[in-house]
Amino acid sequence: MKKILLFIALFSAINSFCQTDSTFIRKVYDEALERGEAYENLRSLCKDIGARITGSAEAEMAVKWGEKLLNSYGFDKVYLQEIKVPHWERGTKEAAWVINEKGETYKLDILALGGSIGTNGLISGEVIEVANLEALQQLSENDVKGKVVFISQAFDQKHINTFHAYGGCYPIRGKGTNEAGKLNAKAVVIRSLATPEDDFPHTGTMHYDEGVNKIPGAAMSTKNATMLSAWLKKGKVTLKMEMDCEKFEDVTSYNVIAEMNGKDNKIITWGGHLDSWDVGDGAHDDGAGIVHSIEALRILKKLGYQPNHKLRCVLFMNEENGNMGGKSYAKIASENKEEHICAIESDRGGFLPVGFDINGTEEQVKFVNQHKELLSDFELFRFKKGYGGVDIGPLKEFYPDMIQLGMAINSQIYFNYHHSNNDVFENVNQRELELGAAAMATMIYLMDKSLK
C-alpha cells in the first residue's frame, strides 16, 4: 500500500512538473505572440541603424543600441566586453562588365568578397571558367596567369536543408581567390552562394594565406553566372572590373552582454551576432538572432522566472569576418574561470523555427530529447545531432563537456537573402520571428531547469 501511495505521489509530482512546464511555456508563447517586442526591435535595428559590418559607424551605433535596449529592460547586469575586430570597407567603386568576341557588353551585378583587396583602377582579363575549387587546384600557372578565374559552382538543389548546399559551395568563396592568387591569376569572380536564380549578388568572407599574391575577389548574381557560362560556351569573354575596397587597422569594438542572476554561478549563454555584412539590413543574418536573444531574456524576466543558473544573453560582435566576438568571449570566460554548462545560438534567420541542433554527445542528444513530446505541442520537432553556431563554437574548446544548441529554422529561403541587398526587414515575417524568440526562451528555460 505504501509503495502504491509513493508511486502515486511520485507520478503526481512528475505530472505536475510537466504540467507546470507546459503552462509556463504556453505563457512564453502568449507573451511572444501577443505582446512581443522582437519585431519592433528588429525594425529599429534594421532601419534606425542598418547594415553594420565591424569597423563601420553602424556597428558602433549597434553596440549603443543594444546596450540601451538591454538597459531599458532592467536586467540584473548589462555590460560591454571590449574586443579587437577587423575593419574592411567596400569603398564606393564596384563594377564589372563582360565583353564577348562580337564586342557585346553586359554589366554584371557584383559585390566584392569581404576582405578582398581593390583592383587599383580598371583591370581587364580573359575569363577562364572552372567548375569548383578542386578544378581550379588542378590547373597550372600557365593556364591561369593574367586571367580572370570564374568559379561557377552552383548550389546542389537536391539537399533538403539548404545549409548543406551552402557548405558544398563554401570553398569557392572562402578559398577560391587565394588559390587563384597562388597561380597569379588577375582576379576571381564566383557565382554567388545562393539558392535561386536572381539578380542579387551575395558577399561573404574570404581568406588570403600569409605571403600569397593577393588578388581581388568578387561574387556575381546567379543569373549573371548562368549567362556568363553560356557566353563562354560560344567563345572568348573578357571581364573588366573596378573595386576600391580596402582593409584598415583593427579597431576596438564590443560584445554586448546582459545577465539574469541564478541560484548558482553556472552559466547558460545564448546569443546571435550584432554585426552583419555591409549590404541590405542584416535582417535575417543576424538581426533576427539578436532580437530572438533579447526577447527571450525579456520574456523570462516578464514572467517572473527565477533561474537556477546564471542566464547570459550575448550580442556577439564580428561573426561575419573574424569571429573575434566569439573567440574573445570564450577566452575571457576561461580566464575568469567561469563554469559554462550550455550555450544556444540563433544565426539561421527569422524564419519558422523547427527545433534545435545539438552539438554534444549521444547522451546529451538524449537529454535534450526528453523534452521532445512537450515541445511538439509548440510545433518544435527536430532535436538531432548537429551544429551549434559560430559565435558559441569557441566555448567548446574550453568547455568540451558543455551542451551547445543551434536553433534549427526553416532553411528554404535563407540563401535567397543571406549576405545580399535583399536581406532587409521587409523580408522577415512577424509571427515567424516571434515564434523564434519563444522557442529560444523555451529552450533556455528547459535547459536551466533540467541541467544540474
Query: What's the closest the beta carbon of residue 34 comes to a second copy, in angstroms?
Result: 6
Q: Smallest Cα–Cα separation from 214: which of 118, 141, 85, 110?
A: 118
Size of the site for a second copy (CB under 8 A): 29
12 binds a second copy (CB under 8 A): no
What is the rounded distance in angstroms from the CA atom of residue 167 to the CA atom of residue 373? 31
Q: Smallest Cα–Cα separation from 127: which of 94, 93, 155, 96?
A: 96
- Give the footprint of a second copy on residues 141-160 (CB under 8 A): 157-158, 160
Residue with C-alpha cell 570564450?
330
Q: How many residues does the structure list for the chain?
A: 452
Instruction: Determine which residue in the list 300, 352, 443, 446 makes contact with a second copy, applying CB under 8 A.
Output: 352
Render 411-437 in DSSP notation, one character per residue.
Answer: -TTHHHHTTSTT--GGGS-HHHHHHHH
Instruction: Determine which residue in the list 34, 210, 335, 363 makes contact with a second copy, applying CB under 8 A.
Output: 34
Instruction: Determine which residue in the list 435, 440, 443, 444 makes contact with a second copy, applying CB under 8 A.
Output: 435
Query: What's the closest the beta carbon of residue 174 comes to a second copy, in angstroms?
Result: 24
Output 313 or 408, the one with its CB closest to a second copy: 408
If 0-12 CB within 10 Å is exposed, 13-18 middle and 19+ buried, where does residue 2 land?
exposed
Output 133 or 154, the one with its CB closest to a second copy: 154
What is the rounded distance in angstroms from the CA atom of residue 382 to the CA atom of residue 47? 33
Q: Smallest Cα–Cα separation from 55: which of 275, 231, 343, 269?
A: 275
Query: What's the closest the beta carbon of residue 264 comes to a second copy, in angstroms?
Result: 33
Taking contact as CB under 8 A, which single stretch among the options 81-89, 279-287, 316-324, 429-437 is the one that binds a second copy? 429-437
Output 183 or 435, the one with its CB closest to a second copy: 435
365 binds a second copy (CB under 8 A): no
β-pair partners for 239:
98, 125
CB atoms within 10 A of CB 298: 27
Query: What's the closest the beta carbon of residue 162 comes to a second copy, in angstroms?
Result: 8
15 binds a second copy (CB under 8 A): no
Output 119 or 195, the one with its CB closest to a second copy: 195
Query: What's the closest the beta carbon of residue 437 comes to a second copy, in angstroms?
Result: 13
29 binds a second copy (CB under 8 A): yes
Q: Where are the beta strands (DSSP E) in 132-180?
A: 148-151
Residue with C-alpha cell 514572467?
303
Output 236 or 431, the one with its CB closest to a second copy: 431
Q: Smallest Cα–Cα separation from 228: which of 151, 316, 135?
A: 151
Output 34 or 363, the one with its CB closest to a second copy: 34
What is the rounded distance in angstroms from the CA atom of residue 50 to the CA atom of residue 46? 4
* Antiparallel, parallel or unpaired: β 94-100 and 237-243: antiparallel
248 binds a second copy (CB under 8 A): no
Output 343 or 352, the one with its CB closest to a second copy: 352
**What is the SS3 assignment for 252?**
strand
- Give the footprint of a second copy on residues 368-427 (CB under 8 A): 376, 378-379, 381-382, 384, 410, 412-413, 416
Output 170 or 378, the one with its CB closest to a second copy: 378
Output 33 or 139, the one with its CB closest to a second copy: 33
What is the rounded distance in angstroms from the CA atom of residue 187 to the CA atom of residue 107? 17
What is the rounded distance in angstroms from the CA atom of residue 25 to the CA atom of residue 28? 5
String of contacts with a second copy for each residue 189-228, x by CB under 8 A = ------xx--------------------------------
Residue 306 backbone phi and psi in degrees, to 5: -105, 100
For binding to a second copy (CB under 8 A), which residues are involved? 29-30, 33-34, 157-158, 160-162, 195-196, 352, 354-355, 376, 378-379, 381-382, 384, 410, 412-413, 416, 429-432, 435
